[in-house]
Amino acid sequence: MAKKSAAHVIIMGPQGAGKGTQAALVAPRLRLEHVSTGDLFRQVMAGDSELSTEIRGYVDRGALVPDALTIRMLMEYVDEVLGGESEMRGMLLDGFPRNQAQAEALDVALRERGDRLVSVVHVDVPRERLMERLTGRLVCSNCGATYHRRFNPPKVDGVCDVCGATLTQRSDDTPEAVERRLSIYYEQTAPVLDYYRAAGLLLDVDGDRPIAEISDGIVEALQSKFDAD
């Protein structure tokens, strides 16, 4: 039987813009599978292997993991999730692509699969808001759900609302690593927005608003793109 062609969406924006928060809310409403390359790396880092030591060396200092390794891990994951009888429309890619080479590698991989890119959601938040969001971020050590000490606190202090596990701070949410990650974002990742804008795929979203208001807007805009497809 011929393989179903998938329809993918990318969510972009600086670190702390709320990509993970929004992706977790909108993906199930649109039948998309949320995949975060950062989460994939954190899963590997939780293990004890040569690969986990290598990846930790990049992530903890806020550097990018090399493109070839990133692309291979992502596409293996996509094949695994969308293989067989998946009910998903496609992936919601979060944290990828991070530079022009990754964007072009993604184009090639999608073409080879016969898949298409439906939209690139750009969650925009002024740079001066990001440090505060990132240094107050708490993540669930078990399911990866994201909170903020002040802006989006869990119901019980230090405990995940979703699964009850302990909340922790990410090892790369230190002021030094955040500065490095934001510099890389503005130098290497932000220019990729122009690539997608030129292709007519960019959907600009104001991310400096209440969380639910942003997710409702993204779902509405993407739903009309899928309906028009």
Q: Residue 90 touches which of ligand ADP, ligand AMP, none (CB < 5 to 8 A by kind)?
A: none
Q: Taking CB under 6 A as the criterion, which residues in 16-55 touch ligand AMP?
A: 36-38, 41
Q: Beta strand 167-168 with 146-148: parallel, antiparallel or unpaired?
A: unpaired
Tell me the residue length of the chain. 229
67 to 86, contacts with ligand AMP by CB under 6 A?
A: 70
Closest approach of ligand AMP to the CB of residue 64, in Å = 4
Please report how many Cα atoms fall inside a 13 Å half-sphere around the Cα of residue 176, on the Cβ side.
4
Residue closer to ligand ADP by CB (options 13, 97) is 13
CA distance 14 to 126: 9
> Concatenated DSSP letters for 83-111?
SSS----EEEEES---SHHHHHHHHHHHH
Binding to ligand ADP (CB under 6 A) within 124-163 occurs at 133, 136-137, 146-148, 151-152
Of the candidates 18, 181, 185, 218, which one interacts with ligand AMP according to CB under 6 A?
181
Query: What are the φ/ψ torsions at residue 42 (nearest 5 degrees)?
Result: -65, -35
Structure-block tokens of residue 198: 């030129």
Q: Does 17 bind ligand ADP (CB under 6 A)?
A: yes
Interaction site with ligand ADP (CB under 6 A): 13, 15-21, 133, 136-137, 146-148, 151-152, 207, 209, 211, 214
